[in-house]
Amino acid sequence: MKKKGEFGYIQDTKAHNFKLAMIMLLIALSVFIFGKALLPKMFNYFAVVAALLMLPVAQCITRYLVFKGFKSIKKQLYEKLTQIDQEVLLLYDLILVFSKKTIQSKVTAIINDTIIVYIEDNKKEKNKELAEEVINKILEKNKIKAKLEIIVDEEAYIDRINKLFEENKTILDNQLQDNLAEILLLSSI
């Protein structure tokens, strides 16, 4: 299973939780049917076990439904981003949550103390403001000062990363970048 921040995390998590839910559902039904058909005098015990086995099924289905509304970035964009220098810290498919607000960052680049977020949506301005608010609150909560840029255009995003990396490649602070990445990963689902 892919980890948070890796390309394809959302799709992988959806598929994993769906498969796991179906397998556990079959096990719970098997226990129920086995108890009903073969041991009717002890059926109550089998029914309780089958009911308890439904709890992890419900958990997997809930997790699947949470991720169902989100999609991973397009393969073409991922391939373009892999051509950028490996020193740029890129996090893919982040679903950031703060309070009751949720945003999806298709790609997040971290270069020194600058976080560049790419969001893709029809309501660009509204989501851009929401993304800015959520990420700023996450940073404030963790007492981190960082520059934040939200970009909604794919080509402008790639150009901005390349430009910022060229300006900073001799003075990259990997520790700061790792700290920012960790905070964002911990704030995502």
CA distance 49 to 76: 47
Q: Structure tokens of 91?
A: 């996090």
Question: Residue 186: which of 88, 90, 72, 94 has the closest Cα?
Answer: 94
- Specify burial of residue 10 (Cβ count, 10 A radius: 0-12, 13-18, 19+): buried
Report the amino acid identity of residue 142: N
Read off the pLDDT of residues 45-90 as tens digits, 9 standing for 90 and up.
999 999 999 999 999 999 999 999 899 888 999 999 988 877 789 9
Q: Structure tokens of 126?
A: 């509204």
Most distant CA pair in the chain, distance? 76
Read off the pLDDT of residues 88-136 as tens digits, 9 standing for 90 and up.
899 999 999 988 888 999 999 999 889 999 998 666 667 888 899 999 9
